[in-house]
Amino acid sequence: METFAFYFFAVSITALFAVTVWSKNILYAMTSLAAGMVLISGLFFILGADFLGVVQLIVYVGAVMALYSFAMMFFDATGEIKEKHSHPGLVFLLGGLSAVVMVVIFAAPVIGASAPSFYPPVEGATNPQAVGLVLFTKYLVPFEVAAVMLLVAMIAGIILAGKKMDTSITEVTDDIGDTNERI
Partner 1 sequence: MVGLNEYLILSAILFSIGVVGVIRRKNLLMLFFATEIMLNAANIAFAAISSYHNDLTGQMFAFFIVAVAASEVAVGLGLLILIYKKYGTLDLDNFTVLKG
Partner 2 sequence: METLVYTALFAPLVSSLFAALFGMTPKRQFVGIVTSLLLFVSFVSSALLLDYVMEFGSIHVTMMDWIVAGDMSVPFGFNVDQVTAVMMTVVTLVSTVVHIYSNGYMEHDKGFNRFFSYLSAFVFSMMVLVMSDNFLGLFIGWEGVGVCSWLLIGFWYHKEDVGRDVNPSISPAWAANEAFIMNRIADLGMLVGIFLIYWNIGSLQYDVVFSHLDGLSHGMLVAIGIFLFIGAMGKSAQFPLHTWLADAMEGPTPVSALIHAATMVTAGVYLVIRANPLYDMIPEVGYFIAALGTFVAIFAASMALVNRDLKRIIAYSTLSQLGYMFAAAGLGAYWVALFHLAAHAFFKALLFLGAGNVMHAMHDELDIFKMGGLKKIMGWTYAYMGVASLALAGIWPLAGFYSKDTILEVAFNEHTYGIWFILWLTAGLTAFYSFRLVFLTFWSDSRYKEFGFHPHEVQKYVLWAMAPLAILAVVFGWYKDSFMEFVTRTLPLYEMSEHTHHMVGVLIAVTTLVAVGGIVVAYLMYSRRLKRNEKIEKSLPYRVLSNQYYIPIFYEKAFSKPYAELSDIAWKEIDMQVVDATVDGIAHLVEESGDGARGMQTGNLSDYLKWMAFGVIALAVLAVFVAMKS
Considering only residues 27 to 86 of the shown chain, the ones binding partner 1 according to CB under 8 A are 29-30, 33, 36-37, 40, 43-44, 47-49, 51-52, 55-56, 59-60, 63-64, 67-68, 71-72, 74-75, 81-85
Q: Is 21 in the site for partner 2 (CB under 8 A)?
A: no
Torsion of CA 67, 70, 74, 76, to 10 degrees: 100
Q: b or e along 121-133 (b: 16 or more beta carbons within 10 Å of the residue's beta carbon)? A: eeeeeebeebbee
Residue selected from 8, 21, 27, 144 as contacting partner 1 according to rule CB under 8 A: 21
Instruction: Find which of partner 2, partner 1, none residue 27 binds, CB within 5 to 8 Å per kind.
Output: none
Residue selected from 14, 98, 129, 167 as contacting partner 2 according to rule CB under 8 A: 98
Q: Is 140 in the site for partner 1 (CB under 8 A)?
A: no
Cβ at position 108, least distance to partner 2 in Å: 8
Stretch that binds partner 2, among 31-39, 71-79, 102-110, 124-132 (CB under 8 A): 102-110
When the beta carbons of 105 and 159 are compared against partner 2, the nearer one is 105
Looking at the DSSP bridge assignments, the partners of residue 25 are 80
Report how far residue 177's alpha carbon sits from residue 169's, in angstroms, rounded to the nearest whole number: 13
- Residue window 81-120: x/- pattern of binding to partner 1, with contact defined by CB under 8 A: xxxxx--x-xxx-xxx-xx--xx-xxx--x----x-xxxx
